[in-house]
Amino acid sequence: MRFSRLFARTLREAPADADVASHRLLVRAAFMRRLMAGVYTMLPLGFRTMRKVERIVREEMDAAGAEEMRMPIILPAEPWKATGRWDAYGEGTCTRSSGSIGTNAGPGSGCSAAGSS
């Protein structure tokens, strides 16, 4: 693929918010763009690279006899309450909802304690 045909353009200068060298290089080379703190959009080059790494890891894990599984993004509240994280994470950091059948649920991943109240 030619760089002139890329969806996103490469950058000449490193972004001001990029402190780590790998972050600066990945943003400048049009592999990803920052959406907000800790959240990045994978651009076509980054997505292709990620798929190649996944393929290699999957091949190695298959050769070792491992099994792959996917977990839901929303999990029941019980594990969160048992570890004290249900109350530790503040409003706005993690979305917590009551389901239609009256059960509470929280996020399965991507939640941090930063900004908790």
Check residues 80 and 2 and name the one with the higher pLDDT.
80
Query: What would the mean pLDDT of 27-43 be, rounded to a whole number?
Result: 85
Q: Evaluate if residue 111 carries a pLDDT over 90.
A: no
User: How much is the pLDDT for 59?
Assistant: 96
Q: Evaluate if residue 9 carries a pLDDT over 60.
A: yes
Query: What would the mean pLDDT of 18-31 be, rounded to a whole number?
Result: 84
Q: Evaluate if residue 112 carries a pLDDT over 80.
A: no
Q: Measured between alpha carbons, how far apart are the two ends of the chain, in Å?
A: 48
Q: Evaluate if residue 92 carries a pLDDT over 50.
A: no
Query: What would the mean pLDDT of 39-60 be, rounded to a whole number?
Result: 93
pLDDT tier at 115, thresholds 50, 70, 90: very low
Check residues 102 and 30 and name the one with the higher pLDDT.
30
User: How much is the pLDDT for 2?
Assistant: 67
Cα distances from 80 to residues 9, 71, 75, in angstroms, run 42, 16, 9
- What gap in Å lies between CA 25 and CA 16, rounded to an integer? 13
Q: Evaluate if residue 33 carries a pLDDT over 50.
A: yes
Domain ranges of the chain: 3-63, 74-107
